[in-house]
Structures are given as C-alpha cells and as structure tokens.
Amino acid sequence: MLTDDQIMEALALIDSRYQKVAELYLRKVGETINKIGKLNQSSINLLIQLRRMGVDMRTINRELRKATKLSQKDIKALYRKAAQEANTDARFLYVTKGVQPDSIRWERLVESIWMQTAGTMEDFSKTTVAAESYREAIDEAVQAVTMGVGDYNSAIRSAMKRIGTAGMKVQYESGARKRLDSAVRMNVLDGVRQVQQKAQELIGEEIGADGVDITAHPMSAPDHEPVQGRRFDLANFQLMQAGRPFEDVDGKRYKAFSRPITQWHCRHLVYYILIGIFRRMYTDEQLKQWEEENHRGVTIDGEHYTRYEATQLMRKIELQIRRQKDTAILAKASGDDELRRECQANITRLTMKYKSVAEAAGLKTRLEKTRVEGFKPVKPPKEETNGTD
C-alpha cells in the first residue's frame, strides 16, 4: 500500500499547479479593485466598463484547463502505482491459491477510476463560480467611488475578506460549492483510496477470499474505532456495510453504524483474505493501547479533546491559515497594506496555535498543508537606530 508520504509527495505537484491558478485569480481581482480605487466620480464611463469587464475569466479558465491537463498524467501514474503496490502485497495470497492476477482487469480498474477523477477535474475547469464573488466585490468598489466614500480601502475591506476566505470555488452537480484547493485534494485522495479499495476487492474475487481484515491506525474516528484491526467473514462484513448489527470471527457482537468503512473520508482499508491462512495484522493489546491513548486525549484552552478531535482541530486551523494567506495576496494586489498586516497577524497567531495543539497532542505538524502559492509574509518594520552602538 502506498504510504501517506508517497501520496502527499505526488499530490504536492498537482496542488501547486492549481494554487497558481487561484493566486492568479486573487491578483487579478486585487489589481482591478486597485484600479477602481484610483478613479473618481468623473470617470463614470471607465467605472462602468470595469464593472462589466471584471476580471478576465478567459485567462483564468485557460490556466485552469492547462493545470488540469498537466495533472491528469500525474494522477494516472499515482493510481497505477497504488494498484501495483496492492498487487505486490497480495502476491503470497495468489501463490497460495495457485492463481495469477488478471492484468487486463487490473488495467481496467485503474483506467475507470482515473477517468472518473479526470472527468471531475474537467468539470472544475468549467464550473468555477469565482465570477459571482469578484463581480460583487467590484460592484461594491464602484459604488464606493461613485458615492465619494473617503476611505476607499475600508469601504471594500469586508468584500475582500469575503473573497479571500472563500478562495476560488468550484461547484458540483449537486450544487454544493468547495474551495478549489480543497476540491482538488479531496478528489485525488478519494481516487487513490478508491483504487486501493477496488484493488483489494479484485484480489478477493481472484483468490476466492472468505473474509476481510480492516486496517487500524491511532486516533481513529469514534464510529469506526471499535472495528478497526478486526477480522470478519464476508457475510458479517456485508451486514456492517449495510448499517446492521454484526459480529467478528471471534464471535464478538457490534452495534450498527451508518458510515460504511472506506467511505465518507474514512482512512481505513479493507484487505480481502483467506481466514486461517495467517494471523490478524494487529493484536488486541495494540488496539486497546491506541484506543486508550486516543480517549485520554489532551486539554487545549481548557477543553478536553480526544487525539482524533485534536487532528480535526489541526485540519481546521490549516484551512484558516490558507484563507488568511489568500486574503493577504488579494490585499497586496489591491494596495491595502492595513488588511495585509491584519492577515499577517492572524497567520502568526493561528500558526502559534497550530504548533501548540500539535505539541500538546503529540502530533506531527504538517505546515506544508498551509502553503499557498504566491504568498509573501509581511516583514516587520526595521527598528530605527540613533547611529550609536
């Protein structure tokens, strides 16, 4: 199975391409707002023209399509690598059963999931909803000028904060909207997990599996924690996935839960196995230790968190930092130094909290998840000297 580090390394390049497009969008919006702020009421015709033009979305969409085209090859290579790793891990099972993997079926598996991911990415380049946000901001900027507002930056600062927080968004067929960076990460990671899981299901078919092992990890979500690391026959695993009560191969009974294993952002993987061929991957002692450590948790700002909840808090702070960096890029392009300094102060505060949460919970910081293409921190002003030592 691919490691998290291998997946994140491949994702970093893809993520960088889309971040450059998002940066372009923010700079274009900021530059347009800056132009409007330099005009006056007598420039009404130019103001109207800028309102109609807004940001040149043709340029942005062209760059978005380019990023999508370049990323598709990388995504396919990542999916193929994930399938190869799964195939290699299962070699002992194939030898035990005296069968060979069907190479055509394996290739079709990768191709089908890649096409699904590629299709969604193509939709991203067609369904950006950035136009609505920047038109609203430009309308507010034009209104501030035509009404003769004295402090132009203050008048439209809330609009810029709103755009920076929202980032560049895409819309799904369901109507749901998500930031471009979050949508790309989720789409690629979901595809990797799907390849890994479909590969295991294919292995199960080819070897005639009669059971499954569920992987385990520290800091599991509470609904899946009781079953992680356990072994189930196929009938009971199907009951589990259907949201019905079930039991493991040792006869232990479990209550039903609604979120299927491997779905809805689940990090677990289901290995299809031959019951009785080899031991479980995890001992009861190991699973108990992880559960106790998780629920012992940590106190942050006077509130108790399980270690799993602490990881979720870190993901939330990572997003907040990215939002502040996006707003800072917009502020710089628009010439609003006050807003830029405000963003920098928020970034510094959030980064300190992020590190303190990680330290308190004994978790690894992933500052690369807070990276935003094109962001430049505001340097503190140099201290004045009187020329003496």
pLDDT at position 274 is: 92
In the block, residue with structure tokens 């799907």 = 194
pLDDT at position 388 is: 40
Residue 233 vs residue 159, higher pLDDT: 233
- How many percent of the chain have pLDDT more than 70? 90
Q: How confident is the model at residue 120 (pLDDT cuts 50, 70, 90)?
A: confident
Mean pLDDT of 343-367: 94
Which residues, 6+ apart, have CB-to-CB distance to 243 below 8 Å?
256, 257, 258, 260
With a cut of 90, say whether residue 137 has pLDDT above it.
no
With a cut of 70, say whether residue 336 has pLDDT above it.
yes
Mean pLDDT of 106-121: 91
pLDDT at position 131 is: 66
Comparing 68-82, 135-149, 248-262, 288-302, the range with the smallest average pLDDT is 135-149
Mean pLDDT of 346-369: 94
Residue 50 has which token pair? 């800028």
Q: How confident is the model at residue 128 (pLDDT cuts 50, 70, 90)?
A: low
**What confidence tens digit (pLDDT) does each residue in 301-311 have?**
899 999 999 99
**What confidence tens digit (pLDDT) does each residue in 34-61 have?**
888 887 766 666 666 665 555 567 788 8
Query: CA 146 to CA 33: how far, in whole Å?
Result: 14
**What confidence tens digit (pLDDT) does each residue in 151-170 have?**
888 888 888 898 888 888 87
Residue 250 vs residue 35, higher pLDDT: 250
The whole-angstrom distance between residue 50's C-alpha and the CA centroid of its chain comes to: 34
**What confidence tens digit (pLDDT) does each residue in 176-228 have?**
788 888 888 888 999 999 999 999 999 999 999 999 999 999 999 999 999 99
With a cut of 70, say whether residue 74 has pLDDT above it.
yes
Q: For the chain, what is the total number of helices (H) and then of strands (E)?
A: 12, 9
Query: Which letter does DSSP use for residue 383 in this model?
Result: P
pLDDT at position 44 is: 62
Nearest by Cα to 268 from 220, 195, 215: 215
